[in-house]
Structure formats: C-alpha cells, structure tokens
Amino acid sequence: MSYQNLSEFVARLEAEGELFRIREEVSPILEITEITDRMSKSPGGGKAILFEHVTGSPFPVITNAFGSERRIRLALECQSLDALAETLREILEQRPPRSWAEKLRFLTKAIRWSRFLPRTRRRPNPPCQEVVLKGADADLSQLPILHCWPKDGGRFVTLPVVFTKGLKDGKRNAGMYRMQVYDKQTTGMHWHIHKDGAHHFHEYRNAGKPMEVAVAIGTDPAVTYAATAPMPRGVDEMLLAGFIRGKPVEMVKGVTVDIEVPVEAEFVLEGYVNPDELRVEGPFGDHTGYYSLEDDYPVFHLTALTHRKNPIYSATVVGRPPMEDCYLALATERLFLPMLRTVMPEIRNYWMPWEGVFHNIVIMAIDKTYPHHARKVISGLWGMGQMSFSKAIVVVNHEDSLGKGEALLRSILESVDFKRDITIAEGILDVLDHSAPQPLFGSKIGMDATSRIPREQPRPDRKHGDIPSDGDVLSHLQEADPGFVALRNVYGNESRMPLMLISIVKQAGKNSAFFMERLSNAVSKGVYVIFDADIDLHDDSLTLWKVFNNTDPSRDMRIGETRMIIDATRKGPADGHTREWPEDVVMTQEIKEAVSSKL
C-alpha cells in the first residue's frame, strides 16, 4: 500500500530500523545541520533523523529521510529503482495503436493509467487544513525552519513543494525552490531562470499581475520526489507522483488562493508574489558544497498558514556530497534513463558521480555503431533539457564499468588520445557553476573514451615507461619554483599514464598560469592536477570534487599529445577570474563541540 502521508512513511522507516530519534532539545540554528551532516556522511548514508524537541517550536523535524539507497527505495515503494524505471518506460514509449487489437490493449492500459491522475475533491476539514491561520495569525516564526550553515543569509525552508499555475494555460507546476525567511510573513522565492516556476512568474510579471503560490511542506515521499524531478514543461508532477504511488494524489483548494495542494500535507503556506518586487536572497550553503552567492529574487507574501493537528516539519540539509540530495538525484538518474533512450536509443546506461554535484560530470555508456558516434551523443546531450547544463561528458562502451570510479578513471587516462578524443565547446551552464568566467555560460569538455572501430584513426600505443619517484618529481618542480609544495603519484609506477596531484602556494604575484607554465616546461607525459595547499591530496573524494567544480576547461586545461595539466585551484582576479569565488561550506568548531557534548 502506498503512503498516505509523511507520518506513514516515518512509521515505516522506524519499523524498518531506518529511523533515529533524538529526544534531547536541539536548535534549528546550525545544530540540526551538524547532526544531519554527520549522519549523511556515515557509511551508507546513516539513518533518517527525527528531532523530537526543537528549540523555539512545538513541531518535530525530520531530516535525511531519503538519504540512503534503501530509504529511497522505501520512499518510492520499489524493489529497485531500475524496475520502477522499466514500468515508467512502458508509458513513455507507448506508440499510437495501429490495429483494433492494439487499440483494445491501449484502452486497457489507458484506463489503468488514468488512476494516476491527481484528483481535486471538496472535503470538510481536510488534514492539511485542520488548523487554519490567516492574516496576522499566519506566522512563519512558529515553524522550526533551519538556519543551515554559518554564513547563510538566514533561515531557509529547504524541502518545499511549491505549486504555481501558468497564466496562459492554467497548467500546474510543482517544483522545489528554497525559500529564505525574511520575517514572519515574507520569504524569498529562489526560482532559477530555467525552472518552470520562473516561467510562470515571467508570464505574470509581463502581464503586471501578482501570482498566487501555495507551498506544501511535509508531503508523502512520492510527492516530495516528484517536485525534484526534471519533468518536461507542462507535464504535471502530480501525475508522476500518482504513478509512483500507484494511485492518484488527492488535492484540495487552498483557503486563500485558487491553487490546489495535497490533502495530506503536514503544512501549507499560501500567498502571492508581486510582479516587480525583488529582494536580495542568500548566501546559502548549497548542494555544490559551496555557498551560492547573493542575488535578487522574487518575494513571497504569506496570506495563510495551515497544518495538521500534529504535524512533522520536513527539511533537508545540503552541502558537500554525499548528502541526502545525492539519493534523490540517484532516483532521477535511474527513473529518467528510459526518457533519454526514447530520444537517443543508443544510450545503454549512465552514471553521475556525486562529486560532480549532478551537473558537472556525466559518464555515458552507448552502443557504438559508426565512426565518431560518441561525438554525436555528446552534442545531442548538450542540447537536451537539463543535460544541457553538463560541464563534462565522457562516453564509454561498457556499462559494467560505470560506478567503478578508480578503475574507470585509470582505463580512460591510459587509452584516450588527448588531442583527438577531447572536444572543448561553449554553452550554457547551471546557475550554481562558479568556475566559469561569467554566470550561466562557459566552456565544456566532451571525451570519447569508446573503443576504436574501423574508419577511426587508431590511438597511439602507450607503453609503460620509467616514472621518476614522487620525491624526484617534486624536487624537479621545486627547482622550477618553491611554490610547488607537495605531490602524490596516484598510480605509482604501474600505469601507462601517470596521474599526479600537486599542491601549490600562490603568492608574490604568481597565479595559476605561472604554475601551469612551469609544469609544461618540466613534464612531458602524464596528467597533472594542481590544487591549493590546504587540500588533502590523499582524499580522493575531495580532490575529485575540486576538479569537477573548480575547473573551466578552456581556461584551466592545457592539453598536449601525451600530457594534460588541470588547474583545480581557487581562482581570483590574478587568474583572470573577476567573479566572486564562493567559500566552501563548513561548520564552525563551536557548533561541532556543542553538538558533540549533546550526543
């Protein structure tokens, strides 16, 4: 049976041994984040956490509810995400019936699929409206809204399901957009420009009209997930939620807005956004592991706050991966593979490493059938929906290599022809990409790591060669400049293509280009990645995260026949990067110690 509401899901988590209760009083200001971050980064994602006593609010808080492979399967009520994706494929790949027999079979399926459609009902005293607060009584300070990270601009609603309707077509959209609390009755509305919510807002702004908005907090897991899913514009996310649930999402109209919300939601915020009102929003410790910077966003005005009699406030904490959002992204990765295949059937499978924070690295396995097929796939993906934000795309032959990070990386580095298999292009980027010289636009890298077939130029034969010891290489570099301070040879002498990680200290006017030039003159073979001196070169996850997030390919890579140099350091004006560079998201030592004393 599908979950009616969040409480049923919480009960299931507890029955399955996937819930950890904290009965001590905990502050929503930083402390809940620190506890959740520790749990998220424990083996396998730890457990969901229910904070029973939260300072300043009568309502309990749940975090990390989706934060493991097992819990995401429990949330979506499936034995495996791939099995659920196959069921979804049946709908996505449905072709128009051609014969009477096909029409009859299609009619049977259509009747069954119609059970997934959301339904709006009139219900006296629906659960989400058991308590109704309007006007001055609607007060956001009653809620245990989190202040997540030390340098955040304030408290943020982090797991809201935001409902809007198009002005022209009246179609509903449900999306997840963070909301910074300004005061008791106003918040920011963080609509990225490529999101459907922003599209609706632009319609109203162009018409000079305020737009009604309703926000559900604490929905059943299918609804929460559906709000994060990259559905095509105009397709109701509640249809996807109904498909996952196996039954429709029951909706009810708001008490002050003409927008429907899930009947079983824990909390609902109702209000409006004025067409020309913007306010500074941020900073915010984001899922990239960096603070997203301040910018102007629309303002949400609260007209009503409704909730169940005994609600649970649902929140998520994001930061440097792995965290809960990684598992929501994993669900999207698996469920939307069939949709990719309907457009590009040569795609077998794909993998988005967590260190790439979803949009910075995608590895695709394809059925290769003609010369340079991989380049066609790369170009196609860069023009397709949210895949267009991908900064790096690597194409391989064998899907069984996906997820095997170290072995796959080594195989790619040892075989790829740096000059012929790599494409550098320019295009749109995610709004959170901080390494590009300008917002929303920068360079991308595509790499063909597939096996050669007839009519493709053979790759050069790379042979094992003598590789100097780490100490000899570092000494040689330090002769060129003492700013080279540490080195790690990742594969030792066992690889045909050395991978060396190097720490540098930029000072006395020496920028990234200076060190890359010294490296170019000192080494002839291998992949060399430079990092700031405070980076632990032996932390594989950390170094990958820095490479994927701190690199603009056209500026930060120097590629030769047998050598590649990558600059993964922090950039500034001396490096030709005039945009503000965000800080890493880290907790204060004071909060760490305070939490340790409580637990």
469-523 pLDDT per residue, tens: 667 888 889 998 999 999 999 987 677 788 999 999 998 889 999 999 999 988 8
- Res. 442 pLDDT band, cuts 50 70 90: very high
Bigger pLDDT: 196 or 362? 362
- Res. 468 pLDDT band, cuts 50 70 90: low
Strand order in the sheet with 563-567: 484-489, 499-504, 526-532, 563-567, 557-559
Question: 444, 425 in Cβ contact below 8 A?
Answer: yes
- Res. 112 pLDDT band, cuts 50 70 90: low
Residue 458 in any domain: the answer is no
Where among 297, 314, 331 does a domain terminate?
A: 314
Q: Is the model's pLDDT at 399 over the cut of 90?
A: no
- Res. 265 pLDDT band, cuts 50 70 90: very high
The mean pLDDT value of the chain amounts to 91
- Res. 326 pLDDT band, cuts 50 70 90: very high
Over residues 107-113, the mean pLDDT reads 56
- Res. 108 pLDDT band, cuts 50 70 90: low
pLDDT value for 101: 62
Residue 224 in any domain: the answer is yes
Ranges 93-97, 344-348, 352-356: which has the least confidence? 93-97
pLDDT value for 342: 84
Q: Is the model's pLDDT at 110 over the cut of 60?
A: no
Q: Is the model's pLDDT at 94 over the cut of 70?
A: no
Whether residue 474 sits in one domain with residue 439: no
Where among 291, 314, 337 does a domain terminate?
A: 314
What are the tens digits of pLDDT across the range 547-571? 999 999 999 999 998 899 999 999 9
H or E element that contains 183? strand 179-183
Q: CB 169: neighbour CB atoms within 10 A?
A: 10
Whether residue 213 sits in one domain with residue 353: no
Residue 236 in any domain: the answer is yes
Domain that holds residue 226: 119-314
Whether residue 143 sits in one domain with residue 221: yes
- Res. 577 pLDDT band, cuts 50 70 90: very high
Q: Is the model's pLDDT at 196 over the cut of 80?
A: no
Question: Exposure pattern of 474-512 as b/e (b: 16+ CB <10 Å)?
Answer: beebeeebebbebbbbbbeeebbbbbbbbbbbbeeeebb
One-character DSSP codes across 297-351: EEEEEEEEEEE-SS--EE-----SSSSHHHHHHHHHHHHTHHHHHHH-TTEEEEE
Q: CB 404: neighbour CB atoms within 10 A?
A: 12
Whether residue 475 sits in one domain with residue 442: no
Residue 598 in any domain: the answer is no
Whether residue 387 sits in one domain with residue 243: no
Q: What is the CATH number of the domain that holds 143?
A: 2.30.110.10
Over residues 530-536, the mean pLDDT reads 97
Residue 272 in any domain: the answer is yes
Pairing relationship of beta strands 362-366 and 392-396 according to DSSP bridges = parallel
> DSSP code of 169?
T
Q: Cβ contacts of residue 240 below 8 Å, gap of 6+?
A: 226, 229, 231
Whether residue 295 sits in one domain with residue 349: no
Measured distance between the N- and C-terminal CA atoms of the chain, rounded to whole angstroms: 36
Whether residue 476 sits in one domain with residue 428: no
What are the tens digits of pLDDT across the range 404-429? 888 899 888 888 999 899 999 999 99
Over residues 221-228, the mean pLDDT reads 95
Q: What is the CATH number of the domain that holds 549?
A: 3.40.1670.10
3-class SS string, 234-267: CCCHHHHHHHHHCCCCEEEECCCCCCEEECCCCE
Both tokens of residue 197?
Answer: 């919510």
pLDDT value for 183: 97
Give the chain's radius of gyration (CA, Å). 25
Q: Cβ contacts of residue 509 below 8 Å, gap of 6+?
A: 574
| 3-class DSSP assignment, residue 5 | coil
Q: How far is CA 552 from CA 362, 418, 521, in A?
A: 16, 17, 22
- Res. 124 pLDDT band, cuts 50 70 90: confident
pLDDT value for 189: 96
- Res. 122 pLDDT band, cuts 50 70 90: confident
Residue 69 in any domain: the answer is no
Pairing relationship of beta strands 422-428 and 441-448 according to DSSP bridges = antiparallel
Alpha helices per DSSP H over 336-404: 337-343, 373-381
What are the tens digits of pLDDT across the range 286-300? 999 999 999 999 999
Alpha-carbon span 390 to 44, nearest angstrom: 26
Residue 16 in any domain: the answer is no
Both tokens of residue 488?
Answer: 């790690």
Bigger pLDDT: 9 or 82? 9
Q: Is the model's pLDDT at 89 over the cut of 80?
A: no
Global pTM? 0.91
Over residues 160-188, the mean pLDDT reads 95
Over residues 441-463, the mean pLDDT reads 91
Over residues 14-25, the mean pLDDT reads 97
Where among 396, 418, 448 does a domain terminate?
A: 448
Counting beta carbons within 10 angstroms of the beta carbon of residue 568, is it exposed (0 to 12), middle (13 to 18) or buried (19 or more)? Answer: buried
Q: How far from the centroid of its chain's Cα atoms is residue 453's Cα?
A: 35
Pairing relationship of beta strands 131-134 and 250-253 according to DSSP bridges = unpaired
Both tokens of residue 461?
Answer: 């034969």
Residue 455 in any domain: the answer is no
Over residues 70-93, the mean pLDDT reads 84
Whether residue 487 sits in one domain with residue 435: no
* CA-based nearest residue to 272, from 215, 344, 349: 215
Whether residue 376 sits in one domain with residue 307: no
pLDDT value for 427: 94
Q: How far from the centroid of its chain's Cα atoms is residue 468's Cα?
A: 40
Both tokens of residue 69?
Answer: 């492979």
Whether residue 255 sits in one domain with residue 225: yes
Establish whether 139 is a catalytic residue: no
Number of domains observed in the structure of the chain = 3
Q: Is the model's pLDDT at 107 over the cut of 60?
A: no
Whether residue 305 sits in one domain with residue 356: no
Question: 530, 518 in Cβ contact below 8 A?
Answer: no
pLDDT value for 392: 96
Catalytic residue among 220, 286, 325, 448: 286
Whether residue 123 sits in one domain with residue 236: yes
